[in-house]
Amino acid sequence: MKLLKFSKKERIYKFSDFQELTSKGNVLFCYPFRCIYLSYPSDCFQLKFAVSVSKKNFKLAVDRNRIKRLIREAYRLQKNEIFAPLENQKNEILFLIIYIEKKEIPFIIIRKQLNILLNRLVKINLKNDVKNINDNDN
Chain segment 87-102, per-residue pLDDT in tens:
888 888 899 999 999 9
Task: Provide the percentage of residues in the chain whose pLDDT is more than 70.
Answer: 91
Q: State how far the alpha carbon of 72 is from the alpha carbons of 39, 41, 102, in Å.
A: 20, 25, 18
What is the spatial distance between Cα 3 and Cα 127, in angstroms, rounded to a whole number?
Answer: 28
- The span from the CA of 138 to the CA of 134, in Å, is 7
Over residues 14-37, the mean pLDDT reads 94
Question: What would the pLDDT profile of 97-136 be if each residue is shown by its tens digit?
Answer: 999 999 999 999 999 999 999 999 988 887 776 555 455 5
Q: Examine the pLDDT at 1 and tell me if it is beyond 50.
A: no
More confident residue, 4 or 55: 55
Mean pLDDT of 54-64: 96
For residues 15 and 88, give the distance between their C-alpha atoms in angstroms, rounded to a whole number. 28
Domain boundaries, the chain: 9-129
What pLDDT does residue 127 have?
77
More confident residue, 80 or 72: 72
Q: Beta strand 91-99 with 46-53: parallel, antiparallel or unpaired?
A: parallel
**9-129 architecture in CATH?**
2-Layer Sandwich (3.30)
